């Protein structure tokens, strides 16, 4: 009986790492291209968000990307030129909009989405 392991493709892995690095760089630059690039890479993410809350603004979607990328409050504040307190307030508003329970870790919620 043959071993039916999926082929390990280093090129695919390198491509994924490159795309992740590119998305992280766009996030760090607070680039307007972040949303469109992330949409291409992970369209399911936006479909699932839209199913939960169809009326999210682009600015909220971008904030969701920052959370999906597992960036800390301080990192997001630095990249978006606002205070950590403002980021915390945005997290709380987003939590309400997406019905994320207060006892649930918001990063865990986004990772499981």
pLDDT tens-digit profile of 67-113?
999 999 999 999 999 999 999 999 999 999 999 999 999 999 999 98
Q: Among 77, 113, 76, which Cα is nearest to 98's?
A: 113
Residue 77 in domain: yes
Judge whether residue 1 has pLDDT over 60: no
Note whether residue 91 is domain-resident: yes
Residue 21 lies in a domain: yes
The answer to the question of residue 5 being in a domain is no
Task: Tell me how far apart the alpha carbons of residues 93 and 75 are, in angstroms, rounded to a whole number.
Answer: 19
Q: For the chain, how many structural domains are there in total?
A: 1
pLDDT mean across residues, the chain: 89
Residue 85 belongs to what domain range? Answer: 10-112
Where does residue 95 rank: exposed (0-12), middle (13-18), buried (19+ CB within 10 A)? middle
The dihedral built from the CA positions of residue 98, 91, 39 and 14, taken in this order, carries a sign that is negative
Flag whether 3 is in a domain: no
pLDDT in tens, 14-50: 666 667 889 999 999 999 999 999 999 899 999 999 9
């Amino acid at each position: 009986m043959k071993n039916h392991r999926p082929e390990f493709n280093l090129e695919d892995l390198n491509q994924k790492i490159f795309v992740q690095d590119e998305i992280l760089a766009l996030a760090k630059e607070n680039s307007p291209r972040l949303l469109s690039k992330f949409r291409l890479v992970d369209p399911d993410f936006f479909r699932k968000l839209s199913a939960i809350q169809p009326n999210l603004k682009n600015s909220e979607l971008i904030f969701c990307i920052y959370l999906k990328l597992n960036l800390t409050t301080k990192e997001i504040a630095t990249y978006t030129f606002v205070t950590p307190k403002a980021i915390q307030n945005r997290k709380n508003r987003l939590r309400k909009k997406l019905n994320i329970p207060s006892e649930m870790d918001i990063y865990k919620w986004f990772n499981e989405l």
